[in-house]
Amino acid sequence: MKPDFTCLYFLENENQTILEIKRNDLDEKADISDVYLWLTVKKQSGEINRLTFRSLDSSGEVQERFFDQGYLKFNNLEGTYIEKFNFGQHQLRNKSGQILPDKIRESLTNYLSI
């Protein structure tokens, strides 16, 4: 069966995409960490890595997400992802609400099928 998911957040730059998706094809008793996933997608290779969600904060227009791998801060227009230990800092455009490109959707479908 083909995985079914909804994209909740979609941020990207020329090299990578960061997404939060909700799995719609899992049993209602599934663990919340399996239903809601934060993922990074490297555009050139299509490699997908799961971010381990720890907590969130929201104040007005600014959203913050904390992961084992780093920190994401964003608003309706843009965001910044800072990798743990400051190994990298990535400026992103917030494209939430827009349709995912076919290549990314296909990579996600393959990733979720495993």
> What are the per-10-residue average pLDDT scores of the chain (114 residues)?
94 97 96 97 93 94 97 98 90 97 93 92
Q: Both ends of the chain: CA-CA distance in Å?
A: 11
Residue-level pLDDT at 86 = 76
Residue-level pLDDT at 79 = 98
Residue-level pLDDT at 100 = 95
Element containing residue 51 per DSSP (H, E):
strand 48-51
Residue-level pLDDT at 50 = 97
25 contacts 3 by C-beta, under 8 angstroms: yes
What range does the domain containing 100 cover?
5-113
Residue-level pLDDT at 75 = 97
Domain count, the chain: 1
Residue type, 60: G
Residue-level pLDDT at 87 = 83
